[in-house]
Amino acid sequence: MLDTRNIYPLSDFQRNAKEFIAHLQESHKPIILTVNGKAAVVIQDAASYQALLDALEMEQSAAAIQLSIKEAAEGKDVDAKEGLQALRAKHGISS
């Protein structure tokens, strides 16, 4: 969740970029930069961004696995050999 105390004008960031970056790296909390009083961008430190990407990838993988389990329980699964043969045929790949 974004902290409303971490909202700053872009001009403040431009004048004090080093201090903002140091704060981001220390707090690991994103900040919102505004232009003409409206939220324009969210910035965060690289480590936190990578952690966010990793968490998203993990969530997407878990969702795909859950869907596969559900489809298998519903009888929508395909034998691996048959599936590979179908893919080869679809893409014109010889075995």
Rounded Cα distance between 29 and 68, Å, is 35
Domain that residue 70 falls in: 45-75
pTM of the model: 0.71
Rounded Cα distance between 31 and 8, Å, is 8
Query: Is residue 95 over pLDDT 80?
Result: no
The reply to whether 38 and 61 lie within a common domain is no
DSSP 25-71: HHH---EEEEETTEEEEEE--HHHHHHHHHHHHHHHHHHHHHHHHHH
Dihedrals phi, psi of 23, to nearest 5 degrees: -65, -45
Domain assignment of residue 39, yes or no: yes
Q: How many domains does the chain have?
A: 2
Domain assignment of residue 36, yes or no: yes
What pLDDT is stored for residue 94 in this prediction?
87
Domain assignment of residue 88, yes or no: no
Domain assignment of residue 87, yes or no: no
> Using one digit for the tens of pLDDT, what is the confidence trace for 40-92?
999 999 999 999 999 999 999 999 999 999 999 999 988 899 999 999 999 99
